[in-house]
Protein backbone atom coordinates (compact mmCIF):
# COMPACT_ATOMS: atom_id res chain seq x y z
CA UNK A 1 0.00 0.00 0.00
CA UNK A 2 1.47 3.33 -1.00
CA UNK A 3 0.77 5.94 1.66
CA UNK A 4 0.62 9.42 0.16
CA UNK A 5 -1.24 11.03 3.02
CA UNK A 6 -1.88 10.06 6.65
CA UNK A 7 -3.38 12.80 8.74
CA UNK A 8 -5.31 13.16 11.97
CA UNK A 9 -8.58 14.53 10.63
CA UNK A 10 -10.81 14.65 13.68
CA UNK A 11 -10.95 13.89 17.40
CA UNK A 12 -14.46 13.09 18.61
CA UNK A 13 -16.29 11.97 21.72
CA UNK A 14 -19.78 11.84 20.23
CA UNK A 15 -21.45 11.42 16.88
CA UNK A 16 -22.02 15.14 16.31
CA UNK A 17 -18.26 15.46 16.07
CA UNK A 18 -17.62 12.60 13.63
CA UNK A 19 -16.27 13.65 10.23
CA UNK A 20 -18.54 13.34 7.21
CA UNK A 21 -19.27 9.71 6.32
CA UNK A 22 -18.16 9.94 2.70
CA UNK A 23 -15.03 7.79 3.28
CA UNK A 24 -15.06 4.13 4.34
CA UNK A 25 -13.67 3.51 7.82
CA UNK A 26 -11.76 0.68 9.47
CA UNK A 27 -11.72 0.90 13.26
CA UNK A 28 -9.30 -0.59 15.79
CA UNK A 29 -10.18 -1.56 19.35
CA UNK A 30 -8.09 -2.92 22.20
CA UNK A 31 -7.02 -2.43 25.77
CA UNK A 32 -4.69 0.43 26.72
CA UNK A 33 -1.07 -0.36 25.96
CA UNK A 34 -1.88 -3.23 23.59
CA UNK A 35 0.10 -1.46 20.85
CA UNK A 36 -2.73 0.17 18.90
CA UNK A 37 -0.92 3.47 18.26
CA UNK A 38 2.23 1.62 17.23
CA UNK A 39 0.16 -0.58 14.92
CA UNK A 40 -1.43 2.41 13.17
CA UNK A 41 1.91 4.21 12.88
CA UNK A 42 3.65 1.16 11.43
CA UNK A 43 0.89 0.49 8.91
CA UNK A 44 1.13 4.04 7.54
CA UNK A 45 4.93 4.37 7.88
CA UNK A 46 4.78 7.23 10.37
CA UNK A 47 6.60 7.42 13.69
CA UNK A 48 4.21 9.64 15.54
CA UNK A 49 0.88 9.97 13.77
CA UNK A 50 -0.98 8.11 16.50
CA UNK A 51 0.26 9.04 19.94
CA UNK A 52 2.31 6.32 21.57
CA UNK A 53 1.06 6.64 25.07
CA UNK A 54 3.39 7.78 27.79
CA UNK A 55 0.22 7.87 29.87
CA UNK A 56 -1.93 4.93 28.83
CA UNK A 57 -5.61 5.13 29.57
CA UNK A 58 -5.82 8.89 29.29
CA UNK A 59 -7.38 9.01 25.86
CA UNK A 60 -11.15 8.80 25.87
CA UNK A 61 -11.60 9.98 22.32
CA UNK A 62 -12.18 8.51 18.90
CA UNK A 63 -9.41 9.59 16.56
CA UNK A 64 -10.06 9.62 12.82
CA UNK A 65 -7.05 9.36 10.51
CA UNK A 66 -7.47 10.22 6.85
CA UNK A 67 -5.40 7.92 4.65
CA UNK A 68 -4.79 9.06 1.05
CA UNK A 69 -8.20 10.78 1.03
CA UNK A 70 -9.43 7.26 0.26
CA UNK A 71 -10.43 5.83 3.64
CA UNK A 72 -9.98 6.37 7.37
CA UNK A 73 -8.35 4.46 10.17
CA UNK A 74 -10.32 4.99 13.36
CA UNK A 75 -8.58 4.63 16.72
CA UNK A 76 -11.18 3.73 19.36
CA UNK A 77 -10.52 4.53 23.03
CA UNK A 78 -8.37 1.94 24.81
CA UNK A 79 -9.97 0.20 27.75
CA UNK A 80 -8.92 -1.62 30.90
CA UNK A 81 -6.27 0.71 32.23
CA UNK A 82 -6.03 -0.08 35.94
CA UNK A 83 -4.90 3.28 37.27
CA UNK A 84 -7.98 5.38 36.53
CA UNK A 85 -11.16 5.88 38.54
CA UNK A 86 -14.19 3.65 38.08
CA UNK A 87 -16.12 6.53 36.48
CA UNK A 88 -13.25 7.17 34.08
CA UNK A 89 -12.98 3.44 33.32
CA UNK A 90 -16.61 3.24 32.31
CA UNK A 91 -16.47 6.06 29.75
CA UNK A 92 -15.01 4.03 26.89
CA UNK A 93 -18.05 1.74 26.63
CA UNK A 94 -20.72 4.27 25.62
CA UNK A 95 -18.27 6.13 23.34
CA UNK A 96 -17.46 2.95 21.41
CA UNK A 97 -21.05 1.71 21.39
CA UNK A 98 -22.35 5.01 20.00
CA UNK A 99 -19.82 4.80 17.19
CA UNK A 100 -20.42 1.12 16.36
CA UNK A 101 -24.18 1.51 16.29
CA UNK A 102 -24.30 4.73 14.22
CA UNK A 103 -21.69 4.52 11.53
CA UNK A 104 -22.93 3.48 8.11
CA UNK A 105 -19.50 3.90 6.49
CA UNK A 106 -17.78 1.60 9.02
CA UNK A 107 -16.73 -1.46 7.05
CA UNK A 108 -14.62 -3.33 9.59
CA UNK A 109 -13.73 -3.30 13.29
CA UNK A 110 -10.55 -5.10 14.26
CA UNK A 111 -9.62 -6.16 17.78
CA UNK A 112 -6.01 -5.94 18.89
CA UNK A 113 -4.80 -8.25 21.66
CA UNK A 114 -1.31 -8.78 23.05
CA UNK A 115 -0.02 -12.03 21.56
CA UNK A 116 1.84 -12.92 24.76
CA UNK A 117 -1.16 -12.97 27.09
CA UNK A 118 -4.58 -14.51 27.36
CA UNK A 119 -7.22 -11.94 26.32
CA UNK A 120 -9.07 -10.34 29.25
CA UNK A 121 -12.80 -10.38 30.05
CA UNK A 122 -13.02 -6.87 28.55
CA UNK A 123 -11.39 -8.15 25.35
CA UNK A 124 -14.01 -10.90 25.21
CA UNK A 125 -16.79 -8.36 25.76
CA UNK A 126 -15.38 -6.12 23.04
CA UNK A 127 -15.02 -9.05 20.67
CA UNK A 128 -18.60 -10.19 21.28
CA UNK A 129 -19.77 -6.65 20.56
CA UNK A 130 -17.83 -6.58 17.30
CA UNK A 131 -19.44 -9.87 16.27
CA UNK A 132 -22.87 -8.67 17.39
CA UNK A 133 -22.59 -5.66 15.10
CA UNK A 134 -21.89 -8.02 12.22
CA UNK A 135 -18.16 -7.54 11.61
CA UNK A 136 -15.93 -10.43 10.61
CA UNK A 137 -13.97 -10.78 13.84
CA UNK A 138 -10.43 -10.25 12.63
CA UNK A 139 -7.90 -10.15 15.48
CA UNK A 140 -4.42 -8.61 15.33
CA UNK A 141 -2.12 -10.29 17.88
CA UNK A 142 0.42 -7.56 18.68
CA UNK A 143 4.04 -7.67 19.86
CA UNK A 144 4.67 -10.95 18.02
CA UNK A 145 8.40 -10.15 18.03
CA UNK A 146 8.37 -10.71 21.79
CA UNK A 147 7.68 -14.43 21.50
CA UNK A 148 9.54 -17.10 19.55
CA UNK A 149 8.05 -18.48 16.33
CA UNK A 150 7.84 -21.86 18.09
CA UNK A 151 5.25 -20.45 20.47
CA UNK A 152 3.03 -18.86 17.82
CA UNK A 153 0.67 -21.82 17.52
CA UNK A 154 0.02 -22.27 21.23
CA UNK A 155 -0.51 -18.55 21.76
CA UNK A 156 -2.89 -18.38 18.79
CA UNK A 157 -4.80 -21.27 20.36
CA UNK A 158 -4.95 -19.46 23.69
CA UNK A 159 -6.49 -16.41 21.99
CA UNK A 160 -8.82 -18.57 19.89
CA UNK A 161 -10.14 -20.40 22.95
CA UNK A 162 -10.64 -17.32 25.11
CA UNK A 163 -12.47 -15.38 22.39
CA UNK A 164 -14.42 -18.44 21.11
CA UNK A 165 -13.06 -18.06 17.59
CA UNK A 166 -13.77 -20.91 15.18
CA UNK A 167 -11.39 -20.00 12.38
CA UNK A 168 -7.80 -19.54 13.65
CA UNK A 169 -6.91 -17.73 10.42
CA UNK A 170 -8.80 -14.74 11.80
CA UNK A 171 -5.93 -14.29 14.27
CA UNK A 172 -2.91 -12.59 12.72
CA UNK A 173 0.40 -12.24 14.57
CA UNK A 174 1.77 -8.74 14.07
CA UNK A 175 4.79 -6.75 15.10
CA UNK A 176 5.08 -3.00 14.72
CA UNK A 177 8.69 -3.18 15.84
CA UNK A 178 9.65 -5.72 13.16
CA UNK A 179 6.85 -5.12 10.62
CA UNK A 180 5.82 -8.78 10.86
CA UNK A 181 2.77 -9.45 8.63
CA UNK A 182 2.35 -5.82 7.65
CA UNK A 183 1.95 -6.77 3.96
CA UNK A 184 -0.56 -9.49 4.84
CA UNK A 185 -2.69 -7.10 6.89
CA UNK A 186 -2.61 -4.50 4.10
CA UNK A 187 -3.70 -7.14 1.62
CA UNK A 188 -6.66 -8.08 3.83
CA UNK A 189 -7.62 -4.42 4.33
CA UNK A 190 -7.27 -3.60 0.63
CA UNK A 191 -9.64 -6.46 -0.16
CA UNK A 192 -12.18 -5.10 2.31
CA UNK A 193 -11.79 -1.56 1.01
CA UNK A 194 -11.95 -2.75 -2.60
CA UNK A 195 -8.82 -0.77 -3.50
Beta bridge pairs of residue 67: 6, 71
DSSP SS3 for 72: strand
* Beta strand residue intervals within 49-179, DSSP E: 62-67, 71-75, 106-114, 139-142, 171-173
Greatest Cα pair distance, the chain, in angstroms, is 48
Contacts with ligand GDP, 82-121, as mask; x by CB under 6 A: ----------------------------------------
Give, as ranges, the residues between 12 and 41 that touch ligand GDP (CB under 6 A): 30, 32-38
80 near ligand GDP, rule: CB under 6 A: no
Contacts with ligand GDP, 116-155, as mask; x by CB under 6 A: --------------------------xx-xx---------
Instruction: Please answer whether residues 120 and 140 qualify as being in contact, where contact means their C-beta atoms are separated by less than 8 angstroms.
Output: no
CA dist., res. 7 & res. 46, Å (int): 10
Q: For strands 106-114 and 6-12, give the pairing.
A: unpaired
CB atoms within 10 A of CB 164: 11
Residue whose CB is less far from ligand GDP, 13 or 105? 13
Stretch that binds ligand GDP, among 16-24, 52-60, 62-70, 102-110 (CB under 6 A): 52-60
Contacts with ligand GDP, 154-183, as mask; x by CB under 6 A: ---------------------xxx------
Residues that bind ligand GDP (CB under 6 A): 30, 32-38, 52-53, 56, 78, 142-143, 145-146, 175-177
Amino acid sequence: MKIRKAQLEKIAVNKKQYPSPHLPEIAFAGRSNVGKSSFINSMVNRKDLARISGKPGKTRTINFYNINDQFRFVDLPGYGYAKVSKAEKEKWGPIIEEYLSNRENLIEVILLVDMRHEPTELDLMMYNWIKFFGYSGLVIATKADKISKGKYQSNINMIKNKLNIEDPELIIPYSSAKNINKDLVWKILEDKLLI
